[in-house]
Amino acid sequence: MKKFKLSISLAIILFLSACSSTMKYTWQNENFQGRTFENILVIVEGKTQTTRINAENLMVERLKNEGLNATNSLALFKPGEEITRLSEEEIENRVLSGGFDGVLVSSLVDASTRDVREGGSTYMQPVTYRYGRRIRTGYVHMQEPEYYRQERTYVLETQLYDTKDSASKQNVVWSGQSELTDPSSVDSAVKSYSKKLAKTLVESGIIKL
């Protein structure tokens, strides 16, 4: 039987808000038609341990809301432990001994910044003036000042590994990317991204209920 090799090399993960309800870009292994997963391991690496813990817990909560059985990685990879320094064999052993038949790994694959011009629009401002004993209301054209702000765009990717099917253990069976722009807050963004991920996995039949 071929060994399951889960190679984790994650950048700092940032979860940002998005508008669409499902992921726009997805890929699926042609030999994988989707199936029911008994226990999915969620792995996220954050800038801090607090970020990692909060992000994984929020993702697990959203997946469970969709009827999926998911678990964060804290039981396998303790806070403070650098996952990227572990060997593939050690990661494999921990995942399989934990009884996980699926692993979701999320990472930041691209980030860019551009200047966006805002303001400068024209609107009508009411003005009251007097002619003798009469009071009239007129309008004058007003223009908002123009300014530039930085718009940050991130591309996040999530990959699904199937650890149960020996034929696919060395390959990712599904991946999805989302292009997300301008965060409002970390927590709200994590919730938004998690909802998008769970909805895509279920509606596409990648993970069957």
pLDDT attached to residue 9 = 39
Q: Would you state the torsion angle of the CA atoms of residues 6, 183, 186, 95, taken in this order, to the nearest 10 degrees?
A: -10
User: Domain 25-113+152-203 belongs to what architecture?
Assistant: 3-Layer(aba) Sandwich (3.40)
Tokens 């007129």 locate to 138
Length, in residues, of the chain? 209
Instruction: Please name the residue that has the structure tokens 């409002």.
Output: 184
Q: How confident is the model over 8-39, as pLDDT tens digits? A: 433 333 333 334 456 778 888 888 888 999 99
Span 47-92, pLDDT tens digits: 677 877 888 888 899 899 989 999 998 888 887 777 777 787 788 8
| Amino acid identity at 178 | S
- C-alpha dihedral sign at 156, 74, 104, 54: negative
Three-class DSSP labels, 10-59: CCCCCCCCCCCCCCCEEEECCCCCCECCCCEEEECCCCCHHHHHHHHHHH
Going by C-beta distance under 8 Å and a sequence separation of 6 or more, which residues neighbour residue 17? 180, 182, 183, 184, 188, 189, 192, 193
Of the candidates 173, 164, 35, the residue with the CA atom closest to the CA atom of residue 104: 173
Domain spans of the chain, in order of start: 25-113+152-203
Q: Where are the beta strands (DSSP E) in 73-171?
A: 102-119, 122-131, 134-143, 146-162
Which pLDDT band, with edges at 50, 70 and 90, does 170 fall under? Answer: low
